[in-house]
Amino acid sequence: MYDPLVDDFPGPAQPHVRSYWQARHGAELAQLPNANAALPEHADIIVIGGGYTGLNAALELAERFGQQVVLLEANKLGWGCSTRNAGFAMPGTGRLGYGDWEKRVGVDVTQAIKDEYEHAFARLQRHVDACPAGLEAQRGGYLKIAHNPQAIESLRASFNILKRYEPATKWLDAAGIQARVHSPQAHAAIHYPQSFGLNPLLLLASVARQASAAGVSIIEDAPVKQWDRVEQLHRLHTGKGRICAPKVVIATNGYTPNHLHPSNHGRSLPVLSSVIVTRPLTADEKIAIGLQSTELVMDTRTLKYYYRLLPDGRLMFGGRGAIRGKDAHHPRYARHLLEALRGTFPALKELTNAPPDFYWSGWVNVALDNYPRIYTPAPGIFTSMGYCGAGVTFSQLAGQRLAELAMGEELPALPFYQSALPKFPLPHLRRVGQWAFYQLARWRSL
């Protein structure tokens, strides 16, 4: 599997991963009207990366700012995380909760961050409305579950802060959560009613159709392999030829090759996140686990597990994956998720004895200080990355903010927009640090 810290660029022309989403709705991504025209020699602005961030940026640049935009995707649109994710649409991004933000930036800025998350939800709703199937939204909210009794106290403390910002959230004690999720690893929970489950591939297709209708030229199978300057212009060398522009948007996130541009080197850690999807549960199995088909669930482990019942009754269960791309497909990682699923729902013993119907992984982008940045790393270059695995909702707005930044508009005075992604100390040792973190987290979550 492509590895951003090892390979020079992804692709070209790699097919989509064999995911549950792809198996059901792959045809949605078939030829778009403006897709795969010949590569022009010039553009007003080039967007690298055909996921949510890149497509939203391109859409905004073409629709609102009237720019001639060329979007370059190394493989097929949505080949990265944007068709591989679990479809949890939640407020927030990165790994910082409101309590962490209050300590860093105070109550007023934290409230402004919360308002920004609302803008992201509003933009996501635009894409829901533009999709005939409504993105197959499952609107039962999200449950954050204390996976053991020791986790209750800190979950309760975070709830006490959270309810100042999101008053509709509810606390569920042991009896309350056991009534909804029959698991020995469910001891208390916070319910967030605003969150919902969606079909990530339909979301990608919805944004892509709008971008295409706005006039964006989408070029697939065109990895950027080399980057130089011709006077004031950036010149990108792709598998399909060369293109120049005064401005370039980098929207490659967890798939960013380590040396795409000197300004991005060593500023993020690509981390593999993996999911399994089981066969459809029987009626008895559904009763045994109690889970409703409308709820999203995540636990309180440092390395979290998350799950949801899909519209056709299958169970999706996710967590961390391998460290290196070359190990991503090793059967032990699917086995590890099956074992974790069995620990969560012992009643599914028979189901977890068989291999899952689907297993896949993708690279999420982790920032050193746990939150993303949208910034100008070098003259004429604009980027947004570092969502730390929470990008389905936020990336919709991030693309818009990225377009505004590229067009010289002032962004809200929030931490996401005020600095560059910090560089990792000793970047060549990022994976050694990640391995050590995994060992520690596993020991602490027992």
Site for ligand FAD in 152-181 (CB under 6 A): none
Q: Are 82 and 257 in contact (CB under 8 A)?
A: no
From the list 72, 216, 249, 403, which residue makes contact with ligand FAD (rule: CB under 6 A)?
72
Q: State the nearest-atom distance from the C-beta of 208 to ligand FAD, in Å.
A: 11
- Does residue 278 belong to the site contacting ligand FAD (CB under 6 A)? no
Q: What share of the chain is helix, strand, coil (3-state, %, to 5)?
A: 40, 20, 40
| Beta strands 269-280 and 373-378, pairing class | unpaired
Beta bridge partners of 352: none
- Does residue 270 belong to the site contacting ligand FAD (CB under 6 A)? no
- Does residue 400 belong to the site contacting ligand FAD (CB under 6 A)? no
- Does residue 82 belong to the site contacting ligand FAD (CB under 6 A)? yes
Q: State the nearest-atom distance from the C-beta of 430 to ligand FAD, in Å.
A: 18
Site for ligand FAD in 238-257 (CB under 6 A): 251-257
Residue nearest to ligand FAD (CB): 391
Q: State the nearest-atom distance from the C-beta of 346 to ligand FAD, in Å.
A: 25
Q: What is the DSSP letter of 246?
A: S
Structure tokens at 340: 């974790």
- Does residue 260 belong to the site contacting ligand FAD (CB under 6 A)? yes
Binding mask 319-348 for ligand FAD (x = CB under 6 A): ------------------------------
- Chain centre distance of CA 92: 11
Residue number with CB closer to ligand FAD (40 or 346): 40
Q: State the nearest-atom distance from the C-beta of 149 to ligand FAD, in Å.
A: 27
- Does residue 87 belong to the site contacting ligand FAD (CB under 6 A)? yes
Residue number with CB closer to ligand FAD (159 or 359): 359
Q: Residues of 175-210 as b/e, b for ≥16 C-beta within 10 angstroms?
A: eebbebbbbebbbbbbbbebbbbbbbbbbbbbbbbb
The single residue listed with the structure tokens 């009207």 is: 33
Residue number with CB closer to ligand FAD (81 or 315): 81
Q: What is the DSSP letter of 44?
A: S
- Does residue 86 belong to the site contacting ligand FAD (CB under 6 A)? yes
Residue number with CB closer to ligand FAD (106 or 262): 262
CA pseudo-torsion sign 301, 306, 207, 134: negative
| Beta strands 69-72 and 142-145, pairing class | unpaired
Q: Which strands make up the sheet holding 306-309, listed edge to edge? A: 170-172, 189-192, 142-145, 296-299, 306-309, 314-320, 269-280, 358-366
- What does the DSSP assignment read for 248-311? EEE--GGG--TTSSGGGTTS-EEEEEEEEEEEEPPHHHHHHH---TT-EEEE-SSS--EEEE-T
Q: State the nearest-atom distance from the C-beta of 106 to ligand FAD, in Å.
A: 26
- Does residue 127 belong to the site contacting ligand FAD (CB under 6 A)? no
- Does residue 110 belong to the site contacting ligand FAD (CB under 6 A)? no
- What does the DSSP assignment read for 1-35? ---TTTSSS--SSPPPP--HHHHHHGGGGS--TTB
Binding mask 348-387 for ligand FAD (x = CB under 6 A): --------------x-x----------------------x
- Does residue 389 belong to the site contacting ligand FAD (CB under 6 A)? yes
Residue number with CB closer to ligand FAD (348 or 398): 398
Residue number with CB closer to ligand FAD (257 or 415): 257
Q: Are 289 and 345 in contact (CB under 8 A)?
A: yes
Binding mask 189-228 for ligand FAD (x = CB under 6 A): ----------------------------------xx----
Residues 6+ positions from 349 with CB-CB distance below 8 Å: 342
Residue number with CB closer to ligand FAD (108 or 331): 331
Half-sphere exposure in the Cβ direction for 80 (13 Å, CA): 32
Closest CA to 202 of 19, 24, 18: 24
- Does residue 50 belong to the site contacting ligand FAD (CB under 6 A)? yes
Residues 6+ positions from 379 with CB-CB distance below 8 Å: none
- Does residue 140 belong to the site contacting ligand FAD (CB under 6 A)? no
Residues that bind ligand FAD (CB under 6 A): 9-10, 48-54, 72-75, 79-82, 84-88, 223-224, 251-257, 260, 273-275, 318, 362, 364, 387, 389-393, 395
